[in-house]
Amino acid sequence: DLDSQLAALAALEKENSLSEIEWYAGPKLLVKLSFPQEFSDDEASKAILALQAFEAVEKVVVQSAANLEFKSADFARSWKPDEVIPEAARRGFDVDRLNRPPVIYDQKTELPLHVANRIIVRWKDEFVWNGEQRGLEQQLAAFNAQAECDVVEERQYTDHDLTQILEFDAVKYSVLDQLLIYQANEMVDYVQPDYLYETQTVPNDPGYASLPQWSLPKISAPSAWGLPTGTGSDSVIIGILDSGANTSHSDFLTNLWTGQANAAVNFITTPPSTNVSDPSNPSHGNNVASIVGAQGNNGIYITGVAWNVSLMHVKVINDQTGTGTSSQIAAGIDYARTRVSAMNLSLGYFLPDCMIDPETGNWVCEGYELDLTLSAAIGRAKTSNAVAVCAAGNGLPNINIGLDTDNNTFSPAGTPTDNVISVAASDQNDIRPTFSNYGKKTVDLAAPGVAIYGLNSVLGTYSIFTGTSQATPHVTGTVALIKAKYGWENYYGLRDRVLMGTDDVPAFDGFTRTGGRLNAEKALHARTLIRNVSTRARVENGDKIMIGGFIIGGSGTGTLKIAIRGLGPSLDPYINVAALPNPKLTLKNSSGTTITSNDNWVNMPSLQKTDFINADLDKYQGASINSVESGIVWTLTPGAYSVFVESNNGTSFGVGLFEIYELEDGADEQTRLLNVSTRCLVRTGQEKAIAGVILGD
């Protein structure tokens, strides 16, 4: 219980003479504490260890490392110790609400396409939490009855989260009527229509039929397949959230997920079933899935980007109408998210109230909020470490003229979470087709999306589709290859590798974030790693010493050997101001505990000294280290660390430099130097702060 834990924490603070300075409530509940001024280092360390041992404390971080361990959003709201923190903030219930603009409906609101007799309501966490004690069930039942709405489904992901899908008589009420009724209830977090989504495919162009699978050489897939583990792995599960597929097709059989009968689940039916294929239908889903992972190198039909993969077919689109709803797609995401590394969403919706501006000739749409139900589901996918690869869209329905999604919201590709990859379409000549949406801030990259050859439901036949629906699975297939090669990567590592693996294409410069088109081979290449980071600045005493913070990334099982140098006298040939005469280095972990220190590299332990000498670090700086300068060689596990650079005698000051090098373990991509930040005294001229970095070998 939070209250009892906070009471126990207060007692622990009192026992260790700690004072509360400020509380912060964001995604985390943080408290800033201070020691008495007269505390010795041993007393401070004892208090920190006591806090670390307390079961409710996730971590203890010294002030100098706070910017490495937390994000600015963690400090968005603050309270003094004598102020009361609201319950919703104290428990983090309102964080999502703070990070999104409110949706306010009125009688003039024009709604995008939606189900005519259904709404989705999410109730506020602070009312749902302990709802049984507060009589929440009875309150909601009474309100729903008054609004003449029936609960057709409830979804609850935590003990403080509740979403209801409600239906009503569409003859008696409109969706807008019900939105206004529920919007007025203070217990409602948000209410929205159950939007209709469409696949993002435009009519076929038979003129491209003579170019089967042109897209794979265009994204350098053959070169990617030639790399070690470059053809994928059946240990990587990819969700295809689409219109279903013929899971008995011979080019899918060895690439099917084995965790469910028929390798599939159907959210179009009630209740969900495992039947996802209509063999008589050409199936958008068959085409999309085969681009991702039709089995390669088996001598039949075609090959997907990933020769080897486990495809999970999640039917969220009705293959007869080509549409699916917010609630169906969100259910599909929630089913897949804990099982997959990535999910393909070749679907979306745009605003219906768009027109051409007579002055500019450009399409203009009135702004509208994101689909919050789908956004929340994609946010849960992020928490589950799953990438959502989304079609950037094909412009307006039935018009197929691409729009700038920086100004016109397209969902789900426009969902503002960092596990989303938004994909535009490119053609054989690396030109943006007129139908493809674009956006310098909201679309990440392009991939082939014109006349894309794929499997059909009927054996022995093929389909040729065009659209961002077809561009998207090229990226999803590449994510599958990346995950097979770099199995440790989480969602943002996978996303980063895709975005770094592009070819610069003039047609997309200014039209996507990367300005490029997917290159699968580049995405599979090893990263260029940070080998060295250094900072030079004036060093004095007290709060004017130099403090460098850095992060070693990794899974927690790897280690990285680093060398740290503290220079002063060897800078003399390069500056005409006083150098720090005798620098001292102290290495600490994130809780402020000293790991080691050194004020003269000659006195290092023999093995560390040998590593230090053999690394030949002078070649990088062009100057030999002075015998009174300091050095540390240490093998570290993943985490945050700080380096303190100060005068050894505490009275002689000047310009000093500290630098961190990766040694022989730096070739390990999983455990690597990720971030360095420095707090130092900044002056002018040759006493200003200067930072340097070395990439690669």
Q: What type of residue sits at position 279?
A: P
Please tell me the distance from the alpha carbon of residue 484 to that of residue 236, in angstroms, as a whole number: 6
Alpha helices, DSSP H, located in 219-267: 221-225
Residue 594, φ and ψ in degrees, nearest 5: -70, 130
Joined tokens for residue 647: 């005068």
Q: If DSSP codes are grouped into helix, strand and coil, which group holds residue 153?
A: strand
Q: What residues have CB less than 8 Å from 33, skipping those under 6 apart?
A: 13, 18, 19, 20, 21, 51
Joined tokens for residue 394: 């094909």
Nearest to 656 by CA among 634, 683, 633: 683
Task: Give the sheet arrangement for strand 78-79, strand by strand.
Answer: 29-34, 19-25, 78-79
Question: Is pTM, for the whole model, over 0.85?
Answer: no
Do the Cβ atoms of 458 and 279 come closer than 8 Å?
A: yes
Q: What type of residue sits at position 65?
A: A
Half-sphere exposure (Cβ direction) of 689: Cα atoms closer than 13 Å: 16
Q: What residues have CB less than 8 Å from 360, skipping those under 6 apart?
A: none
Do the Cβ atoms of 473 and 291 come closer than 8 Å?
A: yes
Q: What type of residue sits at position 234?
A: D
Do the Cβ atoms of 477 and 423 come closer than 8 Å?
A: no
Please tell me the distance from the alpha carbon of residue 174 to that of residue 148, in angstroms, as a whole number: 12
Do the Cβ atoms of 601 and 612 come closer than 8 Å?
A: yes
Please tell me the distance from the alpha carbon of residue 249 to that of residue 66, in angstroms, as a whole number: 54
In the chain the domains, ranked by start, together with CATH numbers, are 2-97 (no CATH), 114-198 (3.30.70.80), 214-256+287-524 (3.40.50.200), 530-695 (2.60.120.380)
Q: pLDDT tens across 194-210, in order?
A: 998 888 765 443 332 33
Q: Please report which helix (H) or strand (E) contains residue 564, including its range.
A: strand 560-567
Nearest to 585 by CA among 657, 636, 536: 657
Q: What residues have CB less than 8 Å from 135, skipping those under 6 apart?
A: none
Q: What residues have CB less than 8 Å from 519, skipping those under 6 apart?
A: 219, 220, 501, 502, 503
Q: Please report which helix (H) or strand (E) contains residue 656, including its range.
A: strand 654-662
Please tell me the distance from the alpha carbon of residue 70 to that of residue 93, in angstroms, as a whole number: 19
Joined tokens for residue 190: 């948000």
Ranges of residues in the chain with a pLDDT under 50 are 203-211, 279-280, 352-353, 367, 666-667
Joined tokens for residue 282: 């050409």
Q: If DSSP codes are grouped into helix, strand and coil, which group holds residue 290?
A: helix
Asked if the bond preceding 271 is cis, omega within 30° of 0, the reply is yes
